[in-house]
Amino acid sequence: MTPDTLPKPRKSPVQARSAATVEAILEAAARILESEGLDGYTTNAIAKRAGVSVGSLYQYFPNKDAITAALVLSDSELMATRLEEVLREFEDKPLIDCIDALIEQTVCHQLDRPGLARLIDIEEQRLGGDPALEQVHARIMQIVRGLLERSNLALPFDIDTSTQDLFSIARGISDAAGMNGETDRAHLNARIRHAVLSYLGVPAS
């Protein structure tokens, strides 16, 4: 889909009660995706699970795809926020510790709710073209770039290319693991770590 055709929320929540309703709708959508997959994923089912009327749901979301797009965006925003927190926490600590913490957070995000993560990845690819989602991805890229800027490493390529490569490496391995139904956190962590450190030329120990 293009930005012009991407389904958007009908209105944004302003009051706390409205925000709570939207949060309930998104969590209901997430739980249905986890338990029933796309086959049971309907606006009626989402409204019922959220404890709201279908009419109330449509006040915020014009259709199912708009709910999905909001769920994808919310998931990515959570990931970006957690990674930013890690970067701040490890600002004055050794580079390898920060890398390990960022990778651990990436793995946790993929495998805490693996079924949901897999379907979100699928739906993100199907919908595509969301400028708000691209901004979140830019936040994550800035995290990687910031790490490289203060690392003083001799990067294999220019910083923009290296930033993109590392983002693609970590996300590609993580997403592929999700698509393959993997659940071994330690194994996934080790593979991403090996790939990232090998790219940077940093000793693993």
pLDDT at 14: 52
pLDDT at 8: 60
Residues 6+ positions from 91 with CB-CB distance below 8 Å? 98
Give the tens place of pLDDT for each residue, 20-43.
Answer: 999 999 999 999 999 999 999 999
Cα 26 to chain centroid, rounded: 15
**Contacts of range 83-89, beta carbons closer than 8 Å, 24 or more positions apart:** 83/140, 83/143, 84/139, 84/143, 87/143, 87/146, 87/147
pLDDT at 94: 92
pLDDT at 130: 85
Length of the chain: 205
- Residue 84 CA to residue 146 CA, distance in Å, equals 10
DSSP letter (8 states) at residue 86: H
Phi/psi at 34 (5° precision): -65, -45
pLDDT at 80: 96
Residues in the chain, pLDDT under 70 = 1-16, 205
pTM over 0.75: yes
Give the tens place of pLDDT for each residue, 86-114.
Answer: 999 998 899 999 999 999 999 999 999 99
The pair of three-digit structure tokens given for residue 205, joined into one six-digit string: 């120990």
3-state secondary structure of 184: coil
Residues 6+ positions from 170 with CB-CB distance below 8 Å? 103, 106, 192, 195, 196
Among all chains, which residue has been given the structure tokens 């940093």? 202
Percent of the chain topping pLDDT 90? 80
